[in-house]
Amino acid sequence: MSSSAGFARAPGGGAGGRATSWATAAAVVTAAATIAVLLAGCAAAGPGTSGSPSVSRSPAVELDGANDAEEDLPTLPPPPTWDAESREAAKKAGIRMMRAFARPRLSAQRWWGELEPLLSPAARTAYAGTDPASVPASAVTGPAVLLDDTDGPDAASPWLAHVEVQTDVGRYVVLLSRTGDGSPWLVERLTPPRALWAP
């Protein structure tokens, strides 16, 4: 089983990089109606006149359900707001993550089963196979602190939050993301204390 105990690497990128916000893909469906042109037989011509073919056009074909695809597109959640409730939810998510993470004595199956729901899809892929026995932290020893808890033009993105959590081996930084207002904070990356970084 592979080990990424410090969770220092970022899903889809190197250590220290910020996780990209969610991008929602939209499907574009186009429908075209075809017109068939049929040539009818020539009408009989009288003496001294030339017959001219008559052309009939079939009616335009209407495709049932051409607009249904647009109606079936998923509705995007409203943009999140960076308010007191969001701040509190982010801190709780950071504490919850570190309490689930800092348990090196658990079996790998149980450890991952309780940790996986707290991770974003990208983080689940990146951290699958982590051996809990190699996790250096074994307890959360302090409260969570928001590192980007500001308002105004210099405020952090409302889609992301950095939460610092004190453990028995130092401070971990938990990078969280969410997809919209009312969506839960999910963990994108854990950055271990500097003292644990490989030289």
Each residue's pLDDT tens digit, 146-190:
997 766 555 568 899 999 999 999 999 999 999 988 899 999 999
Per-residue confidence (pLDDT) for residue 75, from 0 to 100 = 77
φ, ψ of residue 28 in degrees (nearest 5): -110, 120
Mean pLDDT for all residues in the chain: 73
Domain boundaries, the chain: 84-196
With contact defined as beta carbons under 8 Å apart, do 144 and 163 qualify? yes
Per-residue confidence (pLDDT) for residue 128, from 0 to 100 = 95
Find the mean pLDDT for residues 128-151: 91
The predicted model scores a pTM of 0.63
pLDDT band for 198, please (50, 70, 90 cuts).
low
Per-residue confidence (pLDDT) for residue 8, from 0 to 100 = 53
Per-residue confidence (pLDDT) for residue 59, from 0 to 100 = 54
Domain 84-196 annotated CATH 2.130.10: no
Q: Is 123 left (phi over 0), alpha (psi -120 to 50) or beta?
A: alpha
> Exposed, middle or buried: residue 48 (CB in 10 Å: 0-12, 13-18, 19+)?
exposed
Per-residue confidence (pLDDT) for residue 81, from 0 to 100 = 87
